[in-house]
C-alpha cells in the first residue's frame, strides 16, 4: 500500500504564498539588462588573491535594470543547482526563484538539482526538477528537495571532475547556494572554468543562518531572519517561565559558529539578563575566568535583590573568541592534520588520543587542555569539518560555563560575598532553527536571490554572487544585481595552509547594533525587561508578519 505524503494545514496554505518581488524582477528576463559598475577588489591581501584568481580577479559589479535583452529568449539554457553546507530557511525558495526565472526566459530551459551537496556533482547524481516537484516545496523549510552536504571541491582532480560532469549534462551554469566556504568554492570553480576557456559559469547565493556572510553589498544571508525568530520565540518562552517560577538560571547556547550575530539579534528580540558577544570578549582579550567572573557579578547582584534567576545567551562560537582557546584550537588543528593516521587509528582510546595530542602541544596549551573537563576536551578533539573548522555545535560551552560559575559561586559563598541559591539549566538551540518554514522576509528574499542568480547565468556572468539589497524597504523597492566573489575574499589559515576564503563578517563593535546593545544591557541585567516575541507570523498585521531583524534595521538605518 502506498503511503500518501501528508502535509500540515499551514504548509498547504503556504504553498499558495506568492513571494513579493523587487520591481526590476517583475519584468520578463528578456526585459532585464545588465548594467556594469566599477571594477572591484578585495580589501586586503590583493596580490595574493590575484595570484589565486588571475582570470576572475578585478571584475565589475553589476546591477539589473529594465531594458531590452531579447537574446535571452533565443537561448536554451541548462542550469545546475546545488545546496551546500548547513540548512537555512528559504533554500527551496531560491530553487523556485531560479526555476521560475529560467522557465519565464524560455520554457525549454532546464533546471538540474545536484543531490546531497557538492558531492552530488562529483558523483554526477542529479535530477531534473519539474514544475510539480518545485510547487510541492515552495515556501517550505529544509533542503530536502535535493539535500545538502559539506564536501569541498578543491583538488585539481575534483575541479576537473566537476567540469567534466557539468559538460556531460550540457550544463551552462552552476548555482551554488551556500555560506562563505561554499561561495569560496563557487569562486574557485569560476576561475577554473575561465582558465580553461569554458563557457560555463559558477554563481553563488548567500545562505547561512549565522548571518556572517555580509558586507557593504550583501546586507544579510537568507535564513538568518527565520532562524533567529524561531530561537527568539523559544528564548521568550523561557524568559516567561523563569519569570513565573523565579528559581533557575538558564544558560542558552545559540548557533553561530564564527560570529555572534544570532545571539545579538536574539538579545534584541528578547532582552535577556546576559548576552555574551564573542567579538567583544576577543577585543578585550578576556580569559575564560574573566567571562565567568562577569557572569557571577550579575548573578550576585540579582541575588542580593532576591532574584536567584535569569537568562544567559551564549554564542556557540564563544570558545574560539577567547584568546587562550583560540590559540589552543589553532594548535590542535595543526597537530590533528599533521598526525591524522596516528589519531584516527581504530585501536586508540579517548584517553590515549588526548595524551598523544597533548604531548604534541606547547606546554601552556597542553596544561589548558588538561585543565578543562574531560568531556569538553574530547569535544575539542573531534574531527574538523571538510573546510578545516572545529565543529563548535558539538562543544557544550554552556555546560562548561555552568560548571565554572557554580565553582566560583561556591568560593564566593565561603567568603560571604554571595548568599544566594544557584540552580542552572542548559539549552542548545541550533538545529531547531535551521529548517523552519521561512518567514515572509526569507521567503521573499530567497526567492529574489534565486531569480537574480538565474539572471546572472542567463547573461553568461561567471564568479559572481547574486545580490539583493535595500532590504529594510518593502520588497518592490529592493535592488538586484551581482558582485564578483573575489572582492569578498581574504587569506586565512585553514588546515595548516594559507587559503583564499570569503571574509567572515563578525559583529562590528563600532556598529549600530552592538552600540545599541551596549547601552541597554545593564538595565536588562538588573531587571526583567523580557520580551516574548511568540511564533513567526505568516499572515495578518504587517508589523508582525513582515518585520525585518533589529540587526538589519540598525545597520541600514540612514
Residues 411 and 414: their CA atoms lie apart, in Å, by 5
Residue 222 DSSP one-character state: B
The nearest distance, CB 434 to ligand FBP, in angstroms, is 6
Interacting positions 170-199 with ligand FBP (CB under 6 A): 179
Asked if 438 touches ligand FBP (CB under 6 A), the answer is no
42/256 with CB nearer ligand FBP: 256
The nearest distance, CB 360 to ligand FBP, in angstroms, is 26
Q: Taking the CA of residue 87 as centre, how many other CA atoms within 13 Å lie in the half-sphere pointing to its CB?
A: 22
CB atoms within 10 A of CB 37: 11
264/458 with CB nearer ligand FBP: 264
Q: Reading across the β-sheet that carries 274-275, which strands appear in turn?
A: 274-275, 310-315, 249-254, 424-429
The nearest distance, CB 316 to ligand FBP, in angstroms, is 6
Asked if 255 touches ligand FBP (CB under 6 A), the answer is yes
User: Known catalytic residues?
Assistant: 210
The nearest distance, CB 204 to ligand FBP, in angstroms, is 13
Provide CB contacts within 8 A for 190, sequence distance 6+: 56, 201, 202, 462, 463, 464, 485
Asked if 292 touches ligand FBP (CB under 6 A), the answer is no
Asked if 118 touches ligand FBP (CB under 6 A), the answer is no
The nearest distance, CB 86 to ligand FBP, in angstroms, is 3
78/261 with CB nearer ligand FBP: 261
Which member of 257, 354, 427, 499 binds ligand FBP (CB under 6 A)?
Answer: 257
**Cell 569539518 -> residue:** 385
The nearest distance, CB 209 to ligand FBP, in angstroms, is 5
Asked if 444 touches ligand FBP (CB under 6 A), the answer is no
465 within 8 A of 221, measured Cβ to Cβ = no
Interacting span for ligand FBP (CB under 6 A) from 104-112, 205-213, 233-241, 416-424:
205-213
Which member of 19, 86, 272, 484 binds ligand FBP (CB under 6 A)?
Answer: 86
Q: Cell numbers at residue 363, please?
A: 606546554
Asked if 226 touches ligand FBP (CB under 6 A), the answer is no
141 within 8 A of 153, measured Cβ to Cβ = no
Q: Give the binding-site size for ligand FBP (rule: CB under 6 A).
A: 15
254/525 with CB nearer ligand FBP: 254
Asked if 506 touches ligand FBP (CB under 6 A), the answer is no
Q: At what angle do helices 224-245 and 261-270 cross, to 10 degrees?
A: 50
Residues 280 and 293: their CA atoms lie apart, in Å, by 15
Provide CB contacts within 8 A for 286, sequence distance 6+: 294, 322, 323
End-to-end CA distance of the chain: 60
Asked if 393 touches ligand FBP (CB under 6 A), the answer is yes
Residues 131 and 135: their CA atoms lie apart, in Å, by 6
Which member of 56, 61, 109, 208 binds ligand FBP (CB under 6 A)?
Answer: 208
50 within 8 A of 125, measured Cβ to Cβ = no
415: Cα separation from own chain's centroid = 45
Which member of 82, 146, 171, 392 binds ligand FBP (CB under 6 A)?
Answer: 392
100/316 with CB nearer ligand FBP: 316
Provide CB contacts within 8 A for 548, sequence distance 6+: 225, 441, 471, 472
Residues 309 and 260: their CA atoms lie apart, in Å, by 24
Asked if 85 touches ligand FBP (CB under 6 A), the answer is yes
Interacting span for ligand FBP (CB under 6 A) from 161-169, 207-215, 236-244, 439-447:
207-215
Interacting span for ligand FBP (CB under 6 A) from 123-131, 251-259, 321-329, 402-410:
251-259
Which member of 19, 206, 256, 475 binds ligand FBP (CB under 6 A)?
Answer: 256
The nearest distance, CB 82 to ligand FBP, in angstroms, is 13
User: Can you list the alpha helix ranges (DSSP code H) found in 65-179?
Assistant: 71-74, 91-105, 118-122, 131-135, 156-168
Asked if 398 touches ligand FBP (CB under 6 A), the answer is no
Residues 223 and 219: their CA atoms lie apart, in Å, by 13
Interacting positions 295-354 with ligand FBP (CB under 6 A): 316
The nearest distance, CB 260 to ligand FBP, in angstroms, is 11
**Closest to 166 measured CA to CA, from 204, 205, 199, 131:** 199
269/273 with CB nearer ligand FBP: 269
DSSP lists the bridge partners of residue 205 as 177
Interacting span for ligand FBP (CB under 6 A) from 228-236, 253-261, 295-303, 402-410:
253-261
Provide CB contacts within 8 A for 499, sequence distance 6+: 491, 492, 493
Interface residue list for ligand FBP (CB under 6 A): 85-86, 88, 150, 179, 208-210, 255-257, 316, 392-393, 434
Amino acid at each position: 500500500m502506498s503511503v500518501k505524503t501528508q502535509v500540515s494545514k499551514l504548509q498547504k496554505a503556504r504553498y499558495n504564498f506568492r513571494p513579493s518581488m523587487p520591481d526590476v524582477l517583475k519584468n520578463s528576463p528578456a526585459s532585464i539588462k545588465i548594467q556594469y559598475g566599477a571594477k572591484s577588489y578585495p580589501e586586503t591581501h590583493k596580490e595574493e588573491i590575484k595570484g589565486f584568481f588571475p582570470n576572475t580577479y578585478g571584475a565589475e559589479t553589476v546591477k539589473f535594470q529594465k531594458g531590452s535583452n531579447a537574446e535571452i529568449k533565443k537561448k536554451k539554457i541548462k542550469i545546475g543547482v546545488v545546496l551546500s553546507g548547513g540548512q537555512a530557511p528559504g533554500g527551496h525558495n531560491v530553487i523556485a526563484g531560479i526555476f521560475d526565472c529560467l522557465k519565464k526566459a524560455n520554457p525549454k530551459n532546464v533546471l538540474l538539482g545536484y543531490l546531497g551537496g557538492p558531492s552530488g556533482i562529483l558523483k554526477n547524481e542529479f535530477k531534473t526538477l519539474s514544475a510539480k516537484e518545485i510547487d510541492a516545496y515552495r515556501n517550505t523549510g529544509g533542503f530536502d528537495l535535493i539535500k545538502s552536504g559539506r564536501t569541498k571541491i578543491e583538488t585539481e582532480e575534483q575541479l576537473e571532475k566537476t567540469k567534466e560532469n557539468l559538460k556531460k549534462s550540457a550544463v551552462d551554469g552552476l548555482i551554488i547556494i551556500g555560506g562563505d566556504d561554499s561561495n569560496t568554492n563557487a569562486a574557485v570553480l569560476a576561475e577554473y572554468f575561465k582558465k580553461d576557456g569554458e563557457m560555463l559559469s559558477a554563481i553563488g547565493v548567500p545562505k547561512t543562518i549565522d548571518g556572517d556572510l555580509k558586507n557593504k553589498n550583501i546586507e544579510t544571508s537568507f535564513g538568518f531572519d527565520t532562524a533567529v525568530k524561531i530561537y527568539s520565540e523559544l528564548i521568550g518562552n523561557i524568559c516567561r517561565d523563569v519569570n513565573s517560577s523565579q528559581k533557575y538560571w538558564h544558560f542558552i547556547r545559540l548557533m553561530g559558529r564564527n560570529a555572534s550575530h544570532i545571539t545579538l539579534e536574539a538579545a534584541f528580540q528578547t532582552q535577556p539578563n546576559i548576552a555574551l558577544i564573542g567579538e567583544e570578549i576577543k577585543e578585550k582579550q578576556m580569559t575564560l575566568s574573566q567571562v565567568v567572573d562577569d557572569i557571577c557579578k550579575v548573578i550576585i547582584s540579582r541575588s542580593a535583590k532576591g532574584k536567584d534567576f535569569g537568562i544567559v545567551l551564549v554564542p556557540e562560537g564563544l570558545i574560539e573568541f577567547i584568546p587562550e582557546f583560540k590559540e589552543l584550537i589553532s594548535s590542535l588543528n595543526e597537530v590533528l592534520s599533521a598526525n591524522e593516521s596516528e589519531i584516527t587509528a581504530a585501536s586508540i582510546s579517548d584517553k590515549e588520543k588526548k595524551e598523544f595530542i597533548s604531548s604534541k602541544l606547547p606546554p601552556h596549551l597542553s596544561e589548558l587542555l588538561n585543565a578543562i573537563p574531560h568531556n569538553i576536551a574530547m569535544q575539542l578533539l573531534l574531527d574538523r569539518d571538510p573546510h578545516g573548522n572545529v565543529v563548535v555545535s558539538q562543544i557544550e560551552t554552556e555546560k562548561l560555563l555552568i560548571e565554572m560559575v557554580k565553582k566560583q559561586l561556591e568560593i564566593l559563598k565561603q567568603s560571604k560575598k554571595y548568599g544566594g541559591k544557584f540552580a542552572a539549566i542548559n539549552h542548545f538551540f541550533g538545529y531547531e532553527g535551521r529548517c523552519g518554514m521561512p518567514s515572509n522576509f526569507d521567503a521573499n528574499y530567497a526567492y529574489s536571490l534565486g531569480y537574480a542568480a538565474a539572471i546572472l547565468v542567463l547573461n553568461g556572468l561567471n564568479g559572481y554572487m547574486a545580490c539583493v539589497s535595500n532590504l529594510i524597504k518593502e520588497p518592490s523597492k529592493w535592488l538586484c544585481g551581482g558582485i564578483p566573489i573575489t572582492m569578498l575574499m581574504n587569506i586565512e589559515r585553514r588546515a595548516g595552509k594559507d587559503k583564499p576564503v570569503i571574509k567572515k563578517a563578525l559583529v562590528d563593535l563600532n556598529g549600530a547594533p552592538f552600540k545599541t546593545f551596549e547601552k541597554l544591557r545593564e538595565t536588562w541585567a538588573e531587571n526583567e525587561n523580557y520580551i516574548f516575541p511568540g511564533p513567526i507570523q505568516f499572515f495578518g498585521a504587517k508589523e508582525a508578519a513582515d518585520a525585518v531583524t533589529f540587526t538589519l534595521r540598525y545597520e541600514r538605518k540612514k
